[in-house]
Chain A
Amino acid sequence: MIDLIVIPLLQIVFVLTGVLIAVMYLVLLERKIQAWVQVRLGPMRVGPHGILQPIADVLKLFIKEDITPVKADRWVFTAAPIVVLVPALIAFAVIPFGSSVSLFGKKISLAIADINVGLLYIVAVASLGVYGIILGGWSSNSKYPLLASLRASAQLVSYEVAVTLTFVSVILTAGTLSMVGIVNAQFNNGVWFLFVQPLAFAIYFIGGLAETNRAPFDLPEAEQELVGGFHTEYSGMRFALFFLAEYTNMIIVSSVATTLFLGGWLPPFPNVRALAFLYYVPSWMWFTLKTLLLLYLFLWIRATLPRYRYDQLMRIGWKVLIPLAIANIVVTGAGKVLLGS
């Protein structure tokens, strides 16, 4: 009873709150890092160095008036933010944040669910979010959001292919679809898959940038071109849901990358005896550290690069990333056969 219901429920509550707080502070982190890159200070007023800024932001979004445009399709308009956010949140179910912890004499795994098709689950769930974007853009019944949502769906669908193909090469290397299994495979392998599959990591990261609509692929919400993007007509908390979903997706992309390529919760060089003391750092801390590193990369890139144009973006997706990902699978498969492992 306790194992079946109470612990998973607690896990879910814990992860959900954790993720939501992480998202709030990710926004602050982004503003701070961007400010530092741009020789500014960033938020400084709410709390020391602005650390209470996210709370103020959320409060503001809660009390804002929630406007539904007269010409909007009410039901779809309401449903769209939910359709975007929910898949982003439930994807966390299979991500192993650490190996396991002992609480009150019970060994608790730090993944809510370790299912044997974990990676497939993530691909399936992550691809649902695009429906929300299309619905949101279409139901607003306004021209700019429509253009933006068309852009977004084309972009997400095409980069999804490249990203999923990189998963295939990781699966080939690890021999399993389970997220925990992949981390264990990296332990047995002795090195992170980043060094075994560097190309796959690069493609995954670029694809991840595009899938989360981050710069330089932030066309769907290119403020300078399309005003606000697909959520132009949204306000208040509904807008906040889109916003939440974007940052949640960033965390997912980073944590999946950590699990697949950076050894998940494992410390660096997990098999080297001389470095065994690294195990004293809790496993979830390694995971958080690696994920933060990747998130920082996201923010850094945003502060540095201009934006691609729509056709250039599609060209990169279809003519560069997908062929490279396929070639990578072929090479991985050939290597597997030749090395006989």
Chain B
Amino acid sequence: MFNTDELVINMGPQHPATHGVLRVVLKLDGEKVVDADVVIGYLHRGIEKLSEHRDWTQIVMLTDRMDYCASAAANLGYCETVEKLLSLEVPRRARYIRTVLAELQRIASHLVWVGSHAMDIGAVTVFLFALRERELVLDLFEEFCGARLTYNSMRIGGVPQDIPPGWDKRVLKFCDIMDEKLAEYETLLTRNRIWLGRTRGIGVISGPEAVAIGLSGPPLRASGVRRDVRKDEPYAAYDEFEFDIPLGSRGDTYDRYLVRLEEFRQSTRIIRQAIEGLPAGPVLGKAPRLIRPPAGETYHANESPKGEIGFFIVSDGKSTSPYRFRVRPPSFCNLQALPRLIRGHLVADVIAVIGTIDIVLGEVDR
């Protein structure tokens, strides 16, 4: 008599809360999610293939366009991979500046995350507060390299220019502001009963499962797995600084929230150490004018704000562009967990979970 089929609903690609052009085909039983199918590719620009036809220095610009909320992290990952291929020494000052940029970028990216995640759950004010602070980071980046979103802020062998005068002071000042403003987000969210109700026990994933599915970054650490490229395989100047890796225990949305919030503090801690101990010297190593790495292949991973961003590059030793260029994008790998995380939850939780794995579709689709 009654038709009790599952309701198939199309969430996205034009949906206010799918962070771009993600499309999720949901099978609903009432409001409960029975199954979910993630459809991606709406933002595919062929960055990997395109890179095989650009010379090595031009590719830095393309890496900007992957995770546009954290382009400095991709710049860094790519430049270091090429330096590894070239066995190029990067000056210490450049490595320090790169670390500062990467950590500023982590703060900016996490600010976008905390804002949009909170807005998806209905706390719109947090979004505007977060973007207010992000504006300060963007100002710093603008001062350093002139751009506010796609920075192109690194070169193979170092950074394009030295820091502008007074920049270090302003970065330190920003760190103080950031630590102060974090308390505001915490007031609005951390012990808010509604926030707890919406995030505790939602999208739980255990450590081994997270490893099996290939999660990385904050979602992995929230499940209690101690894995951070900055500590495990230090790059840039991370081996010279003291910082902690925040870990979660339950692996739910709330833990991922806490982990990222703590990463803000660790980032400002790293930035302070880097700025205070900034060594003198050149900022660009002796990279050849025409880059033509010797034949060979290499893989190098970085800890981007979203997770582990890896570059696998093959050079044939003859051409002035890579023979094969492949990225391991953290957003893409983390997105794999989405159907697993939302099965059995309610429609409203889908939004919370999409927010918590912090994806940027530009990076998922490339």
Complex CA gap A147/B347 in Å reads 10
B128 x A224 contact (CB < 8 A)? no
Interface string of B71-97 (1 = CB under 8 A from A): 000000000000000000000000000
Are A306 and B128 touching (Cβ within 8 A)? no
Q: Which residues of B contact A305 (CB under 8 A)?
A: 122-123, 192, 194
A312 to B235, CA, bound (A): 46
* A225, B17: Cβ atoms closer than 8 Å: yes
Contacts of A151 in B (CB 8 A): 31
From known contacts A38-B124, A38-B128, infer whether A308 and B17 are also in contact, taking CB-CB under 8 Å: no
Shortest CB–CB separation between residue A116 and chain B, in angstroms?
A: 41
Q: How far is the CA of A223 from the CA of B119 in the complex (A)?
A: 10
Q: Which residues of A contact B (CB under 8 A)?
A: 34, 37-40, 143-144, 147, 151, 215-216, 218-219, 222-227, 303-312
Assess A303 versus B197: contact at CB under 8 Å? Given A38-B129, A224-B16: no
Of B7, B17, B125, B348, the residue contacting A304 (CB under 8 A) is B125
Q: How many residues of chain B get a CB closer than 8 Å to chain A's CBs?
A: 30
Answer whether residue B120 sits at the interface, using C-beta atoms and an 8 A cutoff. yes
Docked Cα-Cα span, A308 to B195, in Å, equals: 8
List of A residues within 8 angstroms of B122 by Cβ: 215-216, 218, 222, 224, 305-307
Q: Which residue of B lies closest to A215 (CB)?
A: B122
Known contacts A38-B129, A225-B351, A310-B346; A144/B9 CB under 8 A: yes
Residues of B within 8 A of A303 (CB): 124-125
Residue B138 lies at the interface, judged by CB distance under 8 Å to chain A: no
In the complex the two chains form, is A227's CB within 8 Å of B15's CB?
A: yes
Q: Which residues on A sit within 8 Å (CB–CB) of B118?
A: 306
Is B149 interfacial (CB-CB < 8 Å)? no
Main secondary structure of the interface of B (DSSP, over half): helix
B318 close to chain A: CB less than 8 A: no
B interface residues (Cβ-Cβ under 8 A, vs A): 7, 9, 15-17, 31, 118-125, 128-129, 132, 188-189, 192, 194-195, 197-198, 346-351
Interface residue from A34, A143, A307, A310 paired with B9 (Cβ < 8 Å): A143
Please name all residues of chain A whose beta carbon is closer than 8 Å to the beta carbon of B351 when the two chains form the complex.
Answer: 224-225
Complex Cα distance, B120 from A227, in Å, reads 11
Q: How far is the CA of A205 from the CA of B28 in the complex (A)?
A: 33
A39 and B128 contacting across the interface, CB-CB below 8 Å: yes
18 contacts between A and B (CB under 8 A): A34-B124, A38-B129, A151-B31, A216-B194, A218-B122, A219-B348, A223-B16, A223-B17, A224-B120, A224-B122, A225-B347, A225-B351, A227-B16, A303-B124, A305-B122, A305-B194, A308-B198, A310-B348
Question: Shortest 7 CB-CB distances between A and B: which pairs?
Answer: A307-B122, A224-B17, A38-B128, A306-B123, A306-B122, A306-B121, A309-B348
